[in-house]
């Protein structure tokens, strides 16, 4: 007989709406699961969560339960537990941004992601782990256990939403928000065998900080199924009056889009690495080739294309990425700078060396490269690539505190496709379509034109129905 955590987030929400369980009962189930998991896998739980908040979760669950049966128009995820990434401001809850510099910091305000979770009636169990300031593609925060994949706990969960993915993949929460500035949702989704969606630029508000002047980063869902991801996107999506950019409203809900036939689509495919001269693992090639055949078998037109971004775009992206890191490190006092990771310090100093005019020129160049790519891809409904160049790597395989430049280059080789869609602003989703003979997950990535998440989710749901993965569970489950 299935336990509650075996059910999808939507199935759990349906039980709450029907009155078969209460938000309090469901929250207690997950808190108990944390405790039971911690008995044998304390380090795993510690790697997934930067902060667990059982008292706050129980209080919130009682508040949601007191509202009674949810009415028409309420989120189908009302009453469902989740956890919020340690980068998201959460009023009254410790939020360290993955850094010892901010240990003990408790925000007085919540950001748009946290507010959306609360408005939907979801219950946060705490904060999920992230690397320092969300920068690297692995989640190994200083002084804390690393976030690892439950398919092999010696291997990384990816980053920067590694804690969110580790928590969802092991059934510690049914669904969770992450954020993605260069692949930080899709990378851990691939490492952990999950669905990870980076929405289009402007889909989700950056209120109140608006800390990314380049437009690379956006929040999004990490989930076990496409429908769960779509339901959480419905929760998170929406603009606020002060937002500098915003996406047009969808025709309906994103969840409704998963129930529609996408029709016959024109799919562009390429597996040549974009941002690095990376060696691509044979199992990644196999996953990509299988996905190409699957899409063709579903009736879609599949065409090989060249990489739509030139090599010159890589240096421009790196300049912008370094400046974004500098925006995090510049306000720190000298003593605080001694506490941050060598990689963070190196990137921050690299960003501080960029002048204002140079930064402006880099943003302009990146937007021109993005425009050229969008024009080249405009004839196609969908773009297919691998998600990562390899299955999840061993913990520590990329991190190199003695040589941050080598660390950064290794990250690029591991993630040579994901940041392309941050540059263009296109929505992109990683789907867990493949496993290696050793049982390690390998994701495949689909991207769509800007603001076309509905089409992307419709196709992703069709792919999931043809090659389902929902009941594929890791040994840690």
Which are the catalytic amino acids? Answer: 85, 160, 184
The Cα 129–Cα 167 span in angstroms is 9
From residue 166, give the alpha-carbon distance in Å to each of 171, 174, 222, 341, 390.
9, 11, 10, 22, 18
69-107 b/e (C-beta count within 10 Å ≥ 16 → b): ebeeeebbbbbbbbbbbbbbbbeebbbbbbbbbbeeeeb
Residue 290 CB burial class (10 angstroms; 0-12, 13-18, ≥19): middle
Tokens 């998991």, located at residue = 37
Contact 429, 220 (CB under 8 A): no
Helix, strand, or coil (residue 382): strand
Residue count (the chain): 477
CA end-to-end span of the chain:
15
Q: Cβ contacts of residue 420 below 8 Å, gap of 6+?
A: 274, 275, 308, 309, 373
398-421 b/e (C-beta count within 10 Å ≥ 16 → b): bbbeeebeebbebbbbbbbbbbbb
Rounded to a whole number, what is the largest CA-CA distance in the chain? Answer: 63
Taking Cα atoms as reference points, which of 344, 318, 330 lies closest to residue 135?
A: 344
Contact 137, 159 (CB under 8 A): yes
Q: Would you tell me the crossing angle of helices 23-48 and 54-66 to the nearest 10 degrees?
A: 150
The Cα 260–Cα 247 span in angstroms is 21
The Cα 406–Cα 408 span in angstroms is 5
Rounded to 10 degrees, the C-alpha dihedral 382/384/385/386 comes to 120
Contact 122, 228 (CB under 8 A): no
Task: Kindly report the number of other CB atoms within 10 A of residue 41's CB atom.
Answer: 18
Triad 213, 180, 43: Cα angle to 5°: 130
Tokens of 298: 């579903």
The Cα 8–Cα 195 span in angstroms is 13
């Amino acid at each position: 007989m299935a336990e509650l955590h075996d059910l999808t987030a939507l199935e759990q929400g349906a039980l709450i709406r029907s009155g078969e369980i209460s938000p309090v009962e469901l929250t207690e189930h997950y808190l108990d699961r944390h405790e039971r998991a911690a008995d044998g896998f304390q380090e795993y739980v510690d790697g997934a969560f930067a902060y667990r908040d059982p008292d706050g979760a129980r209080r919130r669950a009682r508040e949601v339960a007191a509202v009674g049966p949810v009415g028409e128009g309420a989120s189908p995820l009302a009453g469902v537990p989740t956890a919020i990434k340690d980068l998201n401001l959460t009023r009254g809850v410790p939020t360290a941004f993955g850094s010892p510099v901010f240990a003990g910091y408790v925000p007085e305000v919540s950001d748009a992601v946290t507010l959306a979770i609360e408005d939907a009636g979801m219950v946060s169990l705490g904060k999920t782990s992230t690397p320092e300031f969300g920068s690297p593609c692995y989640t190994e925060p200083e002084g804390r256990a690393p976030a690892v994949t439950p398919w092999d706990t010696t291997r990384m969960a990816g980053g920067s939403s590694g804690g969110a993915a580790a928590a969802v993949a092991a059934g510690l929460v049914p669904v969770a928000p992450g954020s993605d500035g260069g692949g930080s949702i899709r990378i851990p989704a691939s490492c952990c065998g999950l669905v990870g969606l980076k929405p289009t630029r402007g889909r989700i508000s950056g209120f109140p900080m608006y800390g990314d002047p380049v437009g690379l980063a956006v929040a999004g869902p990490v989930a076990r199924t496409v429908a769960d991801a779509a339901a959480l996107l419905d929760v998170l999506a929406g603009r606020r009056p002060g937002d500098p950019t915003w996406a047009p409203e969808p025709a309906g809900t994103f969840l409704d889009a998963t129930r529609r036939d996408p029709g016959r689509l024109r799919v562009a495919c390429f597996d040549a690495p974009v941002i690095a001269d990376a060696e691509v693992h044979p199992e990644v090639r196999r996953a990509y080739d299988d996905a190409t055949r699957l899409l063709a078998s579903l009736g879609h037109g599949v065409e090989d294309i060249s990489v739509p971004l030139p090599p010159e775009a890589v240096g421009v992206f790196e300049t912008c990425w370094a400046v974004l890191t500098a925006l995090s490190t510049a306000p720190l006092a000298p003593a605080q700078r001694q506490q941050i990771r060598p990689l963070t310090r190196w990137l921050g100093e690299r960003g501080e060396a960029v002048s204002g005019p140079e930064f402006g020129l880099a943003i302009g160049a990146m937007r021109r490269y993005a425009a050229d790519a969008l024009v080249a891809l405009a004839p196609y409904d969908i773009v297919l690539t691998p998600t990562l160049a390899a299955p999840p790597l061993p913990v520590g395989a990329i991190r190199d505190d003695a040589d941050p430049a080598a660390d950064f280059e290794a990250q690029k080789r591991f993630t040579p496709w994901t940041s392309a869609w941050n540059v263009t602003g296109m929505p992109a989703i990683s789907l867990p379509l493949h496993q290696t003979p050793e049982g390690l997950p390998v994701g495949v990535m689909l991207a769509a034109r800007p603001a076309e998440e509905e089409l992307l989710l419709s196709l992703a749901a069709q792919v999931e129905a043809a090659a389902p993965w929902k009941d594929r569970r890791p040994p840690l489950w």
